[in-house]
């Protein structure tokens, strides 16, 4: 199912291919280049096996977290990045935001286990081109890639249903995302704290001073009205910043 969607605060309308893509751009290349990003090696291997028979595609890199994905995207400038929403260190949503902020000409196809509205809204706001449920990826991944290549959005049917329901209620009526009150750096540190990293470890990951990390930590805790690392982790789990490995 190929979907051409225009998504705005006033709703969803059918339309022509997304203007940010040039449908003829990919045809100028011999192959469409891809980066695969998922923290589960078996999932990446499964995608690689699925796509290896398509001679029009070339996988130029694979990553296990959002930072690795960004490095590969900056290095290889792939046409499409297939990114798991829930990854360690930097989740897929934040990785997608950074792709947009850096002005990188790479379209993002999200893979996710989740079909709730919070994830969908955040994915759309990051500028993602597609949202696939992992359970449907085997059947839909190549079709999604083809749609994105031609400048269209692609959504798994359950995601499209949720989008329509959101539109019927009116997107403007939905409360602002609580994470929007945090800066991009605070969202990064939020995830790293929730994953159990110390201030020193976070400073090393982000190449910042420990004092800078402490300041960001204090600011995000005040904004979210949380008072401990455990409360930060509970918030991150509740908002889908990290996934519950016990489930």
- Three-state helix/strand/coil letters over the chain: CCCCEEEECCEEEECCCCCCCCCCCHHHCCCEEEEEECCCHHHHHHHHHHHHCCCCEEEEEEECCHHHHHHHHHHHCCCEEEEECCCCCCCHHHHHHHHHHCCCCCEEEEEECCCCHHHHHHHHHCCCCEEEEHHHHHHHHHHHHHHHHCCCCEECHHHHHHHHHHHHHCHHHCCCCHHHHCCHHHHHHHHHHHCCCCHHHHHHHHCCCHHHHHHHHHHHHHHHCCCCHHHHHHHHHHCCCCCCCCC
Q: What's this model's pTM, rounded to 2 decimal places? A: 0.72
Q: Same structural domain for residues 204 and 95?
A: no
Question: pLDDT value at position 116?
Answer: 81
Q: Same structural domain for residues 215 and 97?
A: no
Strand-pairing partners, residue 13, are 6
Q: Same structural domain for residues 72 and 153?
A: yes
Q: How many domains are contained in the chain?
A: 2
> What are the tens digits of pLDDT across the range 58-67?
999 999 999 9
Percent of the chain with pLDDT over 90: 60
More confident residue, 169 or 147: 147
Question: pLDDT value at position 175?
Answer: 54
Q: Which domain holds residue 197?
A: 178-238
On whether residue 243 sits in a domain, the answer given is: no
Q: How confident is the model at residue 96 (pLDDT cuts 50, 70, 90)?
A: very high
């Amino acid at each position: 199912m190929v979907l051409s969607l225009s998504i705005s605060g006033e709703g969803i309308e059918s339309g022509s291919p997304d203007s940010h893509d040039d449908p003829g751009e990919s045809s100028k290349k011999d192959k469409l280049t891809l980066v695969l990003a998922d923290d589960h090696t078996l999932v990446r291997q499964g995608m690689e096996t699925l796509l290896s028979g398509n001679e029009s595609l070339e996988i130029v890199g694979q990553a296990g977290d959002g930072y690795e994905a960004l490095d590969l995207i900056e290095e290889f400038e792939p046409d499409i990045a297939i990114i798991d929403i829930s990854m360690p260190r930097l989740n897929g949503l934040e990785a997608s935001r950074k792709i947009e902020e850096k002005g990188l000409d790479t379209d993002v196809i999200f893979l996710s286990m989740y079909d709730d509205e919070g994830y969908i809204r955040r994915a759309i706001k990051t500028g993602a081109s597609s949202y696939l449920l992992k359970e449907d990826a085997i059947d839909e991944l190549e079709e999604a890639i083809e749609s994105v290549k031609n400048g269209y959005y692609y959504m798994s049917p359950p995601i499209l249903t949720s989008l329509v329901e959101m539109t019927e209620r009116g997107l403007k009526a939905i409360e602002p995302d609580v994470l929007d009150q945090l800066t991009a750096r605070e969202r990064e540190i939020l995830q790293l704290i929730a994953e159990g990293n110390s201030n020193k470890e976070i400073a090393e990951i982000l190449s910042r001073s420990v004092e800078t990390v402490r300041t960001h930590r204090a600011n995000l805790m005040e904004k979210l009205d949380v008072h401990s690392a455990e409360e930060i982790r509970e918030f991150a789990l509740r908002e889908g910043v990290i996934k519950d490995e016990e489930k």
